[in-house]
Amino acid sequence: MITYPNCKINLGLHVVGKRPDGYHDLETIFLPVMDMCDELEIVEVESGKWKAESVMVQDGIVLDNTPDDNLCMKAWRLLHEEFGIPTVSIRLKKNIPFGAGLGGGSSDAAFTLKMLNEIFSLGLDYSALEQRAAKLGADCAFFIRNCAAYATGIGDRLEPLEWKVTPRRGTEHLGKEKQCSEESGKLKVVIEIPDGEHVSTKEAYLGLNRDLFGALRPDLRKAVKQPIEEWRNLIVNDFEASVFPAHPAIAELKDDMYRRGALYSSMTGSGAAVFGIFPK
């Protein structure tokens, strides 16, 4: 079986506060982007061919971890320990850059769970898969349903959200409502990463303005219903304030998106990727 795990972007990202367990509570809107995908193949291994655990091969973009530490393997181990599923062969061609805030690794893990659920007829519904995905990483649960969602907690509490853009004032409607897509009628999402830029999650969190914890912010669910021309002043990624001073090339890319005609632009996640929403 072969699937194509896609990436995501964040429309706004508020860091609400730090939790007793060391994680941070967040508020964000996840949107799936289907144009940027990895390639994931899982094949059941013939009985007796390998006595060890599953085998994984990575190609494409070189990752900073070994195949044994990849989230796809952790997803297999999780279901192997619970259901005793047999050994599989996993091949991952990596196209989504890591350390970019695009959730590629989380997507790979979620798609692995969904594929194993289908291959071995485990009968897990979306809710059951989301519960298991949340054990693998904060963003993983989102990729189970893989549709626009308002997320809170550590990114694991999800509320389905209609992806519908309100037109700019004085213009025609920009497009029909469309979920699970990087395009909404006459809009398109463009994602770029400055050459050589990489932002670790640890670095982004260390520079956060903690005065924002608990501060009153615009409700993201209401903000996205406003005309897109107003998003620039309503929808903010808190990590930009900590990442931009240390990585001016990322800030410059966001400014360049607006110069090229983006209706809205932002860094996604903790960076380093920047997206722009443009007229199609």
Looking at this protein, which amino acid is placed at residue 96?
I
Among the listed residues 8, 94, 114, 254, the single catalytic one is 8
Q: Which of 6, 5, 8, 13 is nearest to 236 (CA)?
A: 13
Q: Which of 2, 269, 37 is nearest to 112 (CA)?
A: 2
Q: Which residue has the tokens 């007229």?
A: 279
Tell me how far apart the alpha carbons of residues 197 and 270 are, in angstroms, rounded to a whole number: 12
Whether residue 139 lies in the annotated active site? yes
Q: Which of 89, 74, 107 is nearest to 41 (CA)?
A: 89
Tell me how far apart the alpha carbons of residues 178 and 162 are, in angstroms, rounded to a whole number: 8
The H-assigned helical ranges of the chain are 71-83, 104-119, 126-134, 142-145, 201-206, 220-223, 231-234, 239-243, 248-259
Q: How many residues does the chain have?
A: 280
Among the listed residues 38, 108, 139, 238, the single catalytic one is 139
* Catalytic residue numbers, as ranges: 8, 139
